[in-house]
């Protein structure tokens, strides 16, 4: 059976699909699976040994200049149609992913049922659909979708992201994923500075990646305040970052796709959540602690803008949903997870 998976973005969403791919390859004899993914995230499915072909697309770029990109779109359509897929599975549930799925010209296109899709209109493009509750973790939703549409019982086994990492030889360092999208998901800079000093006191260096100019400026500000034990990493691909993750003792992360990558690699980690719901989209390492506020009546608000006023509220941390995640607590939790992982391995 030849299947095309359409799961283009974002980074976290791509990672969430990996366990379902592992399930399918174990449960369906003779399954061959190709994957269409946004070009920026193609390094991730390439690391899964069961994915036959990774087919990059550039929807984000095409939307900005669709007329100039029509040649690339036609090339993608031709490449997909030449592969003669038995089934195209859109596990993203968006209009853009449904349209890409239809480009393949397969006799069967499948995806989420209308009430289960993130964009209900996407279901109009599928011949077969599956109803999967929205209140499940994203990884569980993916596993159930694949099982239903490919005809096997959804396993109750632990998740297997299937990522190959090679030999791990960690240094005395911690990778800190400080960059994220929404302003409300950012742990305050002064907390990162304090954490860096605490890490230094514990004999751990702080490594700070930076994916854009804004993140680089923040990372440099943090590193300057921490001193010689903090360093800003040079720009690197996702593939190189996977290798970098094998060289650290653990990870501290906000709600960002790179945190999900650390979880998929089963690293000791501490995740700091504010306005979002880790029960639905949190990382899934065996060695993790997640800080998420449960005291504020508005948390998790799922909003990009905080209802509180940063200037007038007398609060120790802004946004206030981070008040329960102090740098001291984060360090203590990280050290505990590092020790648990060391004992287990």
Domain end: 100, 135, 150, which one? 150
Domain end: 115, 150, 185, which one? 150
Rounded CA-CA distance 254/30 in Å is: 39
Per-residue pLDDT band for 170 (boundaries 50, 70, 90) equals confident
Q: Mean pLDDT across the stretch 79-108?
A: 98
Q: What is the CATH number of the domain that holds 200?
A: 3.40.50.2000
Domain end: 111, 135, 150, which one? 150
Does residue 177 share a domain with residue 143?
no
Residue 64: pLDDT above 90?
Answer: no
Does residue 81 share a domain with residue 180?
no
Does residue 11 share a domain with residue 58?
yes
pLDDT of residue 311: 58
Does residue 197 share a domain with residue 250?
yes
> Is 228 contained in some domain?
yes
Residue 341: pLDDT above 60?
Answer: yes
Instruction: Give residue 30's region: left, alpha or beta (phi > 0; psi -120 to 50).
Output: left
% of residues, the chain, pLDDT over 90: 83
Q: For the chain, how many structural domains are there in total?
A: 2
Does residue 234 share a domain with residue 329?
yes
User: What are residue 34's DSSP bridge partners?
Assistant: 4, 53
Does residue 270 share a domain with residue 215?
yes
Does residue 145 share a domain with residue 11?
yes
Q: What is the average pLDDT score of the chain?
A: 94
Does residue 226 share a domain with residue 123?
no
Does residue 202 share a domain with residue 137?
no
Residue 301: pLDDT above 90?
Answer: no
pLDDT of residue 166: 65
Angle between helices 138-150 and 11-27 (to 10 degrees): 40
């Amino acid at each position: 059976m030849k299947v095309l998976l359409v799961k283009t973005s974002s980074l976290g969403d791509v990672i969430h699909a990996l366990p379902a791919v592992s399930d399918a390859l174990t449960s369906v004899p003779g399954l061959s699976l190709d994957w269409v993914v946004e070009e920026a995230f193609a390094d991730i499915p390439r690391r899964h040994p069961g994915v036959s072909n990774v087919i990059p697309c550039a929807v984000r770029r095409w939307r900005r200049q669709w007329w100039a990109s029509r040649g690339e779109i036609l090339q993608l359509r031709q490449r997909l149609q030449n592969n003669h897929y038995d089934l195209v599975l859109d596990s993203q549930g968006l209009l853009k992913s449904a349209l890409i799925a239809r480009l393949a010209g397969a006799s069967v296109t499948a995806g989420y049922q209308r009430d289960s899709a993130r964009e209900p209109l996407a279901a109009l493009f599928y011949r077969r659909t599956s109803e999967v509750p929205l209140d499940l973790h994203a990884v569980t939703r993916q596993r159930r979708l694949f099982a239903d549409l490919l005809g096997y019982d959804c396993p109750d086994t632990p998740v297997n992201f299937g990522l190959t990492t090679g030999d791990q030889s960690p240094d005395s360092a911690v990778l800190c994923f400080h960059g994220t999208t929404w302003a409300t998901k950012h742990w305050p800079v002064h907390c990162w500075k304090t954490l860096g000093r605490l890490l230094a006191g514990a004999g751990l260096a702080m490594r700070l990646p930076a994916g854009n100019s804004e993140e680089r400026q923040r990372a440099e500000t943090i590193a300057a305040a921490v001193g010689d034990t903090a360093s800003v990493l040079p720009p690197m691909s996702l593939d190189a970052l996977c290798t970098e993750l094998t060289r650290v003792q653990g990870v501290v992360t906000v709600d960002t796709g790179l945190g999900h990558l650390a979880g998929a690699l089963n690293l000791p980690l501490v995740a700091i959540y504010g306005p979002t719901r880790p029960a639905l989209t949190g990382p899934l390492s065996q060695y993790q602690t997640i800080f998420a506020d449960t005291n504020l009546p508005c948390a998790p608000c799922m909003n990009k803008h905080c209802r509180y006023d940063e200037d007038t509220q007398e609060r120790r941390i802004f946004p206030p949903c981070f008040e329960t995640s102090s740098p001291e607590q984060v360090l203590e939790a990280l050290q505990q997870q590092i020790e648990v992982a060391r004992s287990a391995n």
